[in-house]
Structure formats: structure tokens, C-alpha cells
Structure 1
Amino acid sequence: MKDFYKILEIDSSASLNEIKKSYRRLALQFHPDRNFDNKLNEKKIIDIIEAYKTLSNEKLRKKYDLIYRNKIISTQPITPYVFLKKIQDIRKFIYDKGANKVSKNALYNCLEKLLSDKNIKFLHLNGTHNILKQIIVEVSRYINFLQDIDKDKIIIKLYKLTGGNDEMIILVKETIKQNENKYNFVNSIISKLTYKLKKMFNYLYKFRIPI
């Protein structure tokens, strides 16, 4: 798998503007007219164009990012802290992209892979009580971004992660409830604002008031 972020010399959280800026710079640097009969640079410019076409396209980038992140996870040394760090990185990814732009399927697949039965067993054997609690709290924040059918599957994973520990079972219940209340509260405010805006625009349209 080609590392398109490395090819374009950007971070994986780069914005579309940063992607375009880096592409223009590299395309100019490795343009065939400037590197006549240089086979290495010919291959380089092909990779640059391929990377740009993928990362500048929202749908293609979502698919690529899922594979890219899973590859990073699989090539890192396995430690409980790595699992915690990767789960924490999801939050940054959601905030950088915007919750509405994150693929629900991609988010579920990522969480499902991180919380596979094999990984949960590993965390039970090697993880500290504190790391397990942090993972539970972190994952609970993402559940409301999932489709309803996938929410229950991830919640079951969290209960498996508790290993039957009473304290952590209570933590799962409380964090899920707290985040659900926050999510519903925010959605309620958005719904009310949307309703008021629609009402206002309908009024302006009815009386042909210029805006």
C-alpha cells in the first residue's frame, strides 16, 4: 500500500487546502519538463498525481483513510497504550473532519477492529485497570455517531472489556447514558434552531421581504 500522505509530504489530518498546496509544490518540483529523462522522477510524479487524486476526493479519501489507519495499527508494536492512543486519535479525527463528514461505517469498522475479541483478551492480560477505564470512557463518546444497528454491537464489546468487573460495568452504563444525554441535548437545540430558521424564511418568502 502506497503512503499517499508521505508522498505528498503532509500529515494524515491535512486539510484539502494543505493537500492542494503541497501537490502544486511537488508537481512543479518533479514536473517532466524540469527533470528530462529522469526515470526516478517520472515515477515520483505519477505517485504524486495518484496521491492527489485520492486525497482530494472526499469519498476516495474516506476509503483510503480506513485502510491506512488499520495498516498503521497493525504495524505498531502491540501495547495496551497503543490501543488507548489509537482510540483517542479517533476523537481528533472526528473533530478535524467534522462529525457529519465521518463515515459511520468506517467508524464502526475501526472500533470493531480495535475491540476484537483477540484484542480484548490481550487487554485483559496486559492492560492496567486505569487504561481499561480510559478506553471505556473514550469509546463511549463515539457510540452516538454510529448507526443504531452498530451501537449495540460496540456496547457489547465494552461490556466484554469490563471482564465482569462491577466498577467498570457501572462505568459503561454511566458514560453511555451521559454521552447519550449530551448528544440528545445538542440535537434538540439544533432541531429548535432549524425549526425557527425555517419559520423565519417561510415568513420572509410569504411577504417577499428581501434578505
Structure 2
Amino acid sequence: MKYDVRSRVWDLDGRTVHYTSIAQGEHSVSDDPDAVITTVLGSCVAACIRDPAAGIGGMNHFVLPEQPQGATGPYDKTRYGSYLMQRLIDDLLERGANPRRLEAQIFGGASPGSSYYNIGERNVAFARKFLADRGIATRDASRVGQSGCKLEYWPVSGKTVHSPLAMPPKPKPPLIKLRRIMPLVLPPVAA
């Protein structure tokens, strides 16, 4: 596999593949059989949704499940799954997908440590519920556990390449070597 920096395409077995990278708060939809959508996830979630009969699919990347209740003031709605999940589905339907044929995969939800507010697990639970409420079948979801992952998704074929990112090794405590020191013996002090 060769990467051409100028054209941002890969040469894969003599076939040109169009590469689109999405970041937090973004989504992409394509009906190009040579398209690959990619992202890097931690506790965020990416939903990969496609209509296999129509040959169209897409991916989103959200940070949090929903806007907190009672939140006021301006906020970036693209951070939330409640916005991006619906946006992705709407864009698929606008381009000819049939809602009864949609199938999904969910990736991400890393949980680097135990915490009271485990956002990775909450993101995955939200995505599963959102899809179930709309009758969209979910194929095997790949969780990333404690570390993040790089995800590549071919929206037309549904092929995914899920590459876990290595956790940095835990630092080892410094090795301290102590020498044996003979006790200091002082002569008695005259009173």
C-alpha cells in the first residue's frame, strides 16, 4: 500500500482509494466504492451506518452522548451524539438510503481508567439505544477497552479496519540500591 501525499489517495492493488479523515464533531457520507473514511477514537464513538443495497454509507465521530439537561448558553451541538447520529441518518436518507435496510457498527468508547462518569461506556450505550429506537440493526461492535483506536471504514462495502492504539507502558519505579553503612561509633561525652 502506497500513500501519495499530493493527492491524498492510496494505491491499493493498483486501485485508487479516496481517503477522507473526520475529526470530533464531523461526519461523512459516500457512495463511492473507492472511498475510505477514517478517524482516531478514544472515549469518543464513531457510528458506521450503511445501506448495502443502495451502496451508500457514512461515519460520524461524537464526543458526548447528549447536551446536559438544563444547560444554557451557546454550545457546539456537533459534539453530541444526539445531533450527529440523526444528522448522519438524515444525510444517508437524502442520498437514497432506505431506512429499513440500514445496518450499523459502533466503535470507540475507550475507558482508560475507572471513573464515576465513564464517558466511553455512556457514549457506546447511547449509540446502541439510539439505533435500537430507530430499528437500525447493529452488527458486532468493536470496543477498544482501555486504549483508543484508528478506524478505517469503506462505506459502500462495509469493510472496517480497526487498529487498537498501544497504551504507553506504565513507568517503572526507580531502582534504588542502598549500600550498607557501618554505624558511627562516637566516644562517650564527659559530663
The structure with the greater share of residues assigned to helix is: 1
**Structure (1 or 2) with the larger CA radius of gyration:** 2
* Larger relative contact order, structure 1 or 2 (CA cutoff 8 Å, min sep 6): 2
Same fold, TM exceeding 0.5? no
TM-score range, shorter chain: 0.3 to 0.5
- Using structure 2 for the length normalisation, give the TM-score: 0.33
The structure with the greater share of residues assigned to strand is: 2
- Using structure 1 for the length normalisation, give the TM-score: 0.30
